[in-house]
Structure formats: C-alpha cells, structure tokens
Structure 1
Amino acid sequence: MSMEPLVTIIIPALNEEQTIGSCLEKVKTGCVNNNISYEIIIADSSTDATTDIARSYGAHIIHPKKRGYGNAYLCAFPHAQGEIIVIGDADDTYDFRLIPDLIKPILEGKADMVIGSRLKGTILPGSMPWLHQYIGNPLLTLLLNFTFHSHFSDTHSGMRAIRRDALRRLSLHTGGMEFASEMLIEAAKKGLVVEEIPITYYPRKGPSKLHSFADGWRHVRFILIVRPLRFLIVPGLLFILLGFSLMIGIGLVKSVELQGLHSFILGDILVLGGLQFLLSGVVMKSYSVTHQLDECGPWFSQILQYPTLEKMLFVGILFMILGFASGMYILSQWISVSGPLSQITNAVLALSSVIVGLELIFTALHVSMMLLQNEREGCT
C-alpha cells in the first residue's frame, strides 16, 4: 500500500468477527486488482476477535470514546489520509469489491459524493426486512427529499464515497443512526454533486443491530429538528388563524352560550394546539441552531435575542395575570349570584389565557437556557 493512499476505507465495527475478514478481503480484492492505493480504518467497539482479525489485514484500529454509528465515523474521519473516503458496514452486506465503481464518478470529476443505492440495485432475499424495504426506507427517503428538495433514492444506504475536501465542508455532529440522514442533508445544503450507482445488498450473518422503530424515529426526529418550519411552525400558524376565525365568527353570528358553544370551544382548542405547534417549532429550531445542526438565518436571529425572549416572558406573565383575574371575577359572580351562572365562555377564555401564558413563559425560559449553554455567534 502507498504511503499516500488514494482511498481510505472506514468501517465501523461492533463484534463482527464472523464477517470482518470477508469484508476486508473484498476491500483488498477490489483495490489491488484495480491498482488503487488504499488504507483501512476500523472504528472498533468490539469485545470479540474483530480487532485481531482486522489487524491481520493491516487495518488501522481506532476506538471511539462513545458507541454509535455516527460517533464511529466522526472519530475516524480525522485519521483518513486518502483523497477519497469510502464508508461501509462490517456485516458483509455490502460488497467492497465495488470500490472501483463507487469512486469512478469522483475520479472522473462528475461527482463529489457517490451513494451505493440498494433500491436501484438488487436486494437479495433475506437481506432486508419487508418493513424496511417497502415502508421504512422509501418513506424516510421521501420525507428527506421533500424537506430538502433532494432526489436521493436510498438515503439510508451505508455504502458511500466522498472526496475528502468535500467531506470537510459538511458540518456533521450526530452520533447515532441519524448520521446517515445528516450526511445527505448536509450534502444537499452545501450543494454537493451526488451520484448514485446500483449495488447488491446481501444478507448479513448473525443478528441485526438495527432497531426498526427506534432508529426510524431518530431519522424523523432529526429532520423535524433541522427543519421544523413546514412541519410545526406553518401548521401552527394555520391552526391559530382557523381557530380565531371560528371563535370570532361564532361570537358575531350566534349566541355563544347556546348553539355555538361547542364550535367556540373547538376554535379555542385549535388556537391552543396551534400555539403549541408554533412554539415547539421555535424550540426545535433553537436547538438546531445552538447545536450547529442548521443555520440561524436572518428572521430567526431576531427571535434568538435576549430582549425578544424577555418580551415573550413578559407577555406570558400578562396572559397569566389576565386569566387569573378573569377566573377570580367568575368566582366572585358565582358567590354573589343566587341563580344560574352563565359564564362558560368567560371560563374557557380565562383558562386559555393561563395556558397561553404558561406556554410563552416556558418557551422563553427553555430557549434562554439553550442560549446560555451554547451561544451561537451572530444569533445572540
């Protein structure tokens, strides 16, 4: 192997003694037969013989401080010396003899990054559960493409190649399985040219380490955190508008205490639910900005100002005072009036005012704590 390898192959491993030798043998075959200089880095967290087998193939072993798919790569990337980084799993589900095909578009200057697409290629029987093949992967891919205006076919393929200088442009932070999504999201945001080649996906030996619903949720959660606008903030604003329209319309057209009471309460529920959507989106966006998962942007930078948060806190306190004052008025009426008391609408508004105040107060406090923990230059 050359002292200055063309390709660095990074493979995370967790107790893969059954398959690591086969993977590295395929790496050797694919690179040596095509005169490709290479190095192998194993990000190893194993307790079995995986480490010894990998060393016998000349692999450089590193030990991430934290377990996790993303943590393994984040630990390994700084050690890579090759012009092109190839990543893949240690369970022998990917054929590393395809490394020449994977890096070809990069060498030809056609791409910054190449993905081995299983969904465009062949998924052998027993290699992928039907839930992943026909529901999970297609839906998660569709969600990512819709959110970031990309055109990937298999966003969770673990076999990829990327130019080292292009990799340095990506801001990667996540330590779990959502790292696969983060890498493509960053590639889309940074304008990398990404190509896909069809590959064959093979059955793995031994039990899978994937957790279908938990890992799937991590991907969805990450997308929501990075881009809450269309999923939370916009729907929240629409719910608030619809709720206010319903409440005001009922108040003007009908007697709220009679026929329109139920519709009035429904409108109030829409307002409160919409506000919760809106403020949850603000909190998620604050998290993504303060943890460097997304850019702040000019409009959100106005929100991430301590004076703005202090005003939000003050408004929340006013809403709570108004709600409690209205509640005390209703209580005094109940004490002083001997007959039936018709204050349902006022009671609903008083309760809603207190809830709105609490939501505003705790949102302001939550965002302020995130800013104190990790202030982002240009946004605070």
Structure 2
Amino acid sequence: MDKIAVLIPCYNEEKTIAKVVKDAKAALPEAVIYVYDNNSTDRTVELAREAGAVIRHEYMQGKGNVIRRMFREVEARCYIMVDGDDTYPMEFAPEMVDKVLHHNADMVVGDRLSSTYFSENKRPFHNMGNSLVRASINRLFQCDIKDIMTGFRAFSYGFVKTFPILSKGFEIETEMTIHAVYNQLQIDNVIVDYRDRPEGSVSKLNTYADGFRVLGTIFRLYRDYKPFGFFSLFALLLAVVSVLFFIPVLAEYFATGLVLKFPTLIVCGFVMLAAIQSFFAGLMLSNSAQKNRRDFEYRYTLVCEKELRQREQFGK
C-alpha cells in the first residue's frame, strides 16, 4: 500500500502531461504518480514515462472507465485525482492530502468555482452548466457542495474501495459527489486556483452531449437514492392532472344530474390509480434504499478494517 497515490487519467495530453507529473512529484515527493492512458494516439505515454510516472492502461474509452480501473488497481491511504491538462495547480495537493490523512475526510473537493474558474474559463456554456448542476444537486440532496464537477479531488481508501462506478464518461464527478453526500461521508472543501488550458491543448468535453449526460445522471441518482421524493413528485403531478380534468365532469353532474363525459371520467380514474401506485412504489423503494444504506455502512466498515490491518502490517 502506497501512502499517497496521484492518479492522472489521460487521453491525448502530450502538451501538458510531463509538466503535470513533474508538478505532482514536486508537491508530493513521497507520492507514487500513476498515469492511466485511455488509448492516446500522441506522445502522452512516452512523455509521462520520461517524467517519472508509472504507466497503466484502460482500453475502454471514457473517463468513468479509467477511474474504475484506477480505483480497482491502486492501493493507497490517500488518493489525489487530477486531470492531465494542467488546469489545476498541484501546490494545493498537500492541503488536500492533510485533510484525508489527519482530519478523516473521505473526499476533498478542489473548489474552482470559488476562485478563478469563471474568469479563466473561456466557454460560457461550461460556466452556466457548472452553476446549474451545483444548484440542482444542492437543492435535491439538501447539501452545500461548492464544486460538483471538478476534476481535482482527494479520496480516502474507504471511499475508493466502496464507490460503485456506473458512469462511463465525464458524468463520473457528479456520480461520486452524490454518492458521498447520500452516504453521509465526510466531504471537505479546498479552494484551488484554476487556469485555462494552454494553447494547443484541446478539451475532450462535449459541452452539449456531456451536459445532457450529467443531467441524466442527476435524474437517475435522485430516483435511486431518493425514491420516495422522486415517485411522490410523480404521484402529485398525476393526482393534480386527474383532479383538474375531473372537476368539469363533477360540475356538470351537479348541474344536470348526468355524466356526459364518461371517457374523461374513466381516464381520470386510471390516472388517479397511477398516482396512488406511484406513491406506494416510492414507499417500497424507500425501504429498499434504506437497506442499501445499511449494507453500505457494513461494507465501508470492513474496508476500513482492512486498511487498518494493512497499515499495521507495513508500518504506514
């Protein structure tokens, strides 16, 4: 088990990868630097190896797939994850490591949005998207996370070994944030500077496609983690629709003693039944979600005990 592992997912970052590796070694001399290449077609691997990084590969395309591979293979007490595009200054890494090793943090967020992100980033839709995602998650999950989609984070061993990665692409940051919030893991915040990519370095993020994937991830995780709220909302909407269409039928009955719109009445009945079903589905799935929470706590305890045994065995 390494004490500190720096994890750098990479795809065609030859312009910046050597500098990122060297900066990581300077900021964290005791750390092992891992560069996980994701089918790069340029000199990323060659330059990273020359800079002193351990090179590993993930052949399934997508950042989520890379992080799944990294989390499975690397054993460390503290993990620093940083993008290979040199947008995050590594001098903030020691503070993030300290919060994991000495203050029990499970995840430390490198907060760009509270510093230079909005002035440095030249893509206005990214600015709007980050603000929208942050507001949505903080509202839906009753939390106060400062930066949801940052690629600069620190993790504990327990977080890394119990995080179920389902995403394949850039929505992975959103998924890990919601996972930490829902399972009441300790999340700390470190404000970091952000700088735009250097000239010649091209972002792999597709503003619209990846943006919709992120929103879809929020929708899916809210349904999975907060099923009672999710299905109760649907039940309320269906009930309101049913009542609104039923009112004219009822008024006509009181006025004439006749029901002339039987199809509308029948549809209203079925819609109200769907609302009732949705409400009780939320109740049942909420019980299942609570069981998953208990199972997670048990798994998390086992992983932390394993880490403690390894530390005692190797004296770290």
| Equivalent residue in structure 1 for 2:23, among 22, 26, 38 | 26
The residue number in structure 2 matching 1:93 is 87
- The structure 2 residue matched to 1:208, chosen from 200, 203, 206, is 203
Q: Which amino acid aligns with 1:239?
A: L
Q: How has the CA–CA distance of structure 1 residues 80 and 7 changed in structure 2, closer, same or farther, with 3 Å as cutoff? A: same
- Distance in 2 separating the partners of 1:295 and 1:183: 23
Match of 2:136 in 1: 143
2 CA distance for matches of 1:5 and 1:232?
Answer: 41
Shift of 1:66: 0.7
Matches within 5 A, 1:159-198: 159-198=152-191
Counterpart pick for 1:81 among 75, 99, 104 = 75
CA distance in 2, matches of 1:221, 1:295: 24
Identity %: 26
| Residues 13, 85 of structure 2: 8 Å contact kept | yes
Q: In structure 1, what is the equivalent of residue 295 of structure 2?
A: none
Native 8 Å contact 1:236 1:273 kept in 2? no
The separation in 1 between residues aligned to 2:72 and 2:114, in whole angstroms, is 31
Q: Does the 8 Å contact 1:124/1:202 carry over to 2?
A: no
| 2:34 alignment partner, SS class | strand
Cα separation, partners in 2 of 1:299 and 1:77, compared to 1, 3 Å: closer
Structure-1 separation of matches of 2:269 and 2:197: 48
Residues 179, 185 of structure 1: CA spacing in aligned structure 2 closer, same or farther, 3 A cutoff?
Answer: same
Change (3 A) 1:63 1:298: closer
**1:145·1:151 contact (CA, 8 Å) conserved in 2?**
yes
Counterpart Cα distance in 1 of 2:9 and 2:99 = 24
Q: Is the 8 A contact 1:178 1:219 kept in 2?
A: yes
Q: For residues 81 and 181 of structure 2, what CA distance do their matches in structure 1 show?
A: 18
1:169: how far off? 2.7
Higher Cα Rg, which structure: 1
Q: Match for residue 53 of structure 1?
A: 47
Q: Is the contact between residue 249 and residue 265 of structure 2 (CA under 8 Å) also seen in structure 1?
A: no
Q: Structure 1 residues 247 and 39 mapped into 2: Cα distance closer, same or farther (>3 Å)?
A: same
Q: Cα deviations across residues 315-341 of structure 1 (Å, max 9, x unaligned)? A: xxxxxxxxxxxxxxxxxxxxxxxxxxx
- Say which of 102, 107, 124 aligns to 1:108: 102
TM-score (norm 2): 0.77
SS at match of 2:49: helix
Q: Which of 218, 225, 235 is the matching residue for 1:223?
A: 218
In 1, Cα distance between equivalents of 2:269 and 2:237: 5
Within 1, Cα distance between the matches of 2:173 and 2:101?
A: 23
Higher relative contact order (CA 8 A, sep 6+): 2
Amino acid at match of 1:114: V
**Cα distance between partner residues in 2 of 1:219 and 1:148:** 16
The equivalences for 1:1-380 within 5 A come to: 5-32=2-29, 37-45=30-38, 46-123=40-117, 125-133=119-127, 135-205=128-198, 206-228=201-223, 229=227, 233-254=231-252, 296-297=288-289
Unpaired segments ≥5 residues, structure 1: 301-380
Paired with 1:295 and 1:181, the residues of 2 have a C-alpha distance of 24
> What amino acid is aligned across from residue 237 of structure 2 in structure 1?
F
Q: 1:21 to 1:271 in 2, by over 3 A?
A: farther
Deviation readout 1:258-300 (Å, 9 max, x if unpaired): 9x999x9699599769959x87xx7x9x9xx9xxxx9933799
> For 1:197-231, what per-residue CA distance to the aligned partner results, in whole angstroms no more than 9, with x for missing partners?
11111111322111112112111111211223477
Q: Give yes or no for contact 2:8–2:84 (8 Å, CA) kept in 1.
A: yes
Gaps of 5+ in 2: 293-316
Q: Distance in 2 between matches of 1:66 and 1:184?
A: 23
* Partners of 2:260 and 2:18 in 1: CA distance: 71
Q: If the length of structure 1 is used for normalisation, what is the TM-score?
A: 0.65
* Cα RMSD (Å): 3.6
- Summarize the Cα distance change of 1:236–1:261 in structure 2 as closer, same or farther, 3 Å threshold: farther
Rounded Cα–Cα distance in structure 2 between residues aligned with 1:123 and 1:99: 18
Give the secondary-structure state (helix, strand or coil) at the position aligned to 2:188.
strand
Structure 2: which amino acid aligns with 1:53? L
Equivalenced residues, count: 282
| Cα gap change, 1:30 to 1:124, in 2 (>3 Å) | farther
